[in-house]
Structure 1
């Protein structure tokens, strides 16, 4: 238990840094496209994201004297990477939202939503986020929990 909390916190912080600061604009714009260009952009994003997690997690483990195994690290980060790549293909997460009846929330903050944000003139209005982004991040957070459990118990 003494290991789980710092590992989860390090993964959570590294996820935020890697998903928002390290990811390139090209990766963000391309990773959801069909075919190999989208798959490869997503793979590059996940590679830099995972590297960010390693760079932030290893000093936490070393400085706090945490006991984790190499197998646990590889397995936990691997599960996290696969789940992240899957969701970031976008069509996959949109499908999951559809089958869980979250499509309306998924469209929140976009012109596709029945209550999409618009200006007084009826044009799309600026906003701070979308339902798709919220579902994406909550998906990633759930898998960070799984990754931290694997890292600290394997």
Structure 2
């Protein structure tokens, strides 16, 4: 008789790998330059485009939402194609829940407004200096962003594996 742990291990590993590749492709290949530049814009910290257009809070929210939609769609494609080729059974409710966990947390993390969720977390845990590090080939905010995304994708993979 298989234990619940044994029956979840392989689907969890496959789901995590598929979510991770979808995330990397969605973040670094699919995300538009506009979204990457504008998703953290606020009226207090606007972003100026190459054409001189100034983007504030509303544009930042729209850019982040668009990015998270394409990001989630890329993860969905990776999951569906990968599951088909691996013979992994994905239940629609769990798939929707996993994509919602990944996409909604991605939005909260990627908005990166000054004093936003990630910066508040960094400051509260004594990692504020690392968060602001952008020197010596390092970008602390980017590293912390990735770490939190990976943690959220782990939760999403666990949802898919059950």
Q: TM (normalized to structure 2)?
A: 0.81
Match of 2:95 among 70, 73, 98: 73
Give the Cα separation in 1 of the matches to 2:37 and 2:88.
38
Tell me the residue number matched to 1:14.
22
Shift, 1:2, TM fit: 2.0
Shift, 1:19, TM fit: 0.5
* Residue deviations 1:14-51 (CA, integer Å, cap 9, x gap): 11111011111110111001222111100000000001
Give the Cα separation in 2 of the matches to 1:152 and 1:136.
24
Match of 2:105 among 83, 93, 107: 83
Q: Let me know the Cα RMSD of the aligned residues.
A: 1.1
Which structure 1 segments of 5+ residues have no match?
Answer: 110-115, 118-126
Give the Cα separation in 2 of the matches to 1:130 and 1:67.
38
Give the Cα separation in 2 of the matches to 1:58 and 1:72.
13
Match of 1:144 among 150, 153, 160: 153
Q: TM (normalized to structure 1)?
A: 0.85
Give the Cα separation in 1 of the matches to 2:82 and 2:139.
33
Give the Cα separation in 2 of the matches to 1:25 and 1:94.
23
Q: How many residues align?
A: 137
* Residue deviations 1:77-106 (CA, integer Å, cap 9, x gap): 101111100000112211111111110110
Tell me the residue number matched to 2:40.
32
The SS at the match of 1:2 is: helix
Give the Cα separation in 1 of the matches to 2:10 and 2:74.
23
